[in-house]
Amino acid sequence: MDLIATFFNWGVLRGAMPLLLEGLWTTVLLGAVSIVAGSVSGLVVALLRLYGWPPARGLMRVYIDVFRSIPLLVLLVLVYYALPFVGVRLSSFAAAATALSMVSCAYTAEIFRAGIEAIPKGQFEAAGAIGLGFLDTMRDVVLPQALRIVTPPLTSNCINVLKDTALASVVAMPDLLKQATQAQALAANPTPLIGAALLYLALLLPLVRLVGHFEARHRAAHA
């Protein structure tokens, strides 16, 4: 069998496309839920890490270090297969979203921490001088400036989360990779995997270019 018929079989790809598109939708949904949950919780963790009570700061530091160190695949297996032994049963989607969000939270927290610490201390002093409290200072002065700084690394983190959704197939999650693998088995042909790769590329390449755009703007603003 030649290369085209084996890896680029149009008939096989056309037959597998409904499964692949269904998996793509699941991948996008899983990625969106994990990114939003990880970003919101990451901001909270970063603020606790910087401004919380000393025990909370230490706890957040441990959380960040642990979840940046543990392999996502191991965490997925623990969440999906180990938690039922303590009475917590999650669907494959909930387990994958939980694991992805916990890891994303740790990375996002460090990104936000670096962005907040990059704001000159004079900004905090000026906000205090005009009578702004902590929450108002964060909302109106610090976070808007920090967001401009952290946008490129945050976008890169979003890309990593979307790519990591492929690992959800180990917990029977019908994401793009899982559907492509099933279609490959049904057709006895690897073309669906090539189709999945092209769909991943179509999804992620614009985001990669967006990161480049943000980084160029950031460099130009500080030139």
136: number of Cβ within 10 Å: 13
Tell me the pLDDT tens digit for each residue of 84-133.
999 999 999 999 999 999 999 999 999 999 999 999 988 888 888 888 88
Cβ proximity of 71 and 79 under 8 Å: no
CA distance 23 to 47: 36
Q: Which residue has the tokens 């049904």?
A: 186
pLDDT tier for residue 152 given thresholds of 50, 70 and 90: confident
Tell me the pLDDT tens digit for each residue of 157-201.
999 999 999 999 888 788 888 899 999 988 889 999 999 999 999
User: Which structural domains are found in the chain, ordered by start?
Assistant: 3-221 (1.10.3720.10)
CA distance 22 to 13: 14
Q: Residues for the chain: how many in total?
A: 223
pTM equals 0.89
CA distance 119 to 5: 57
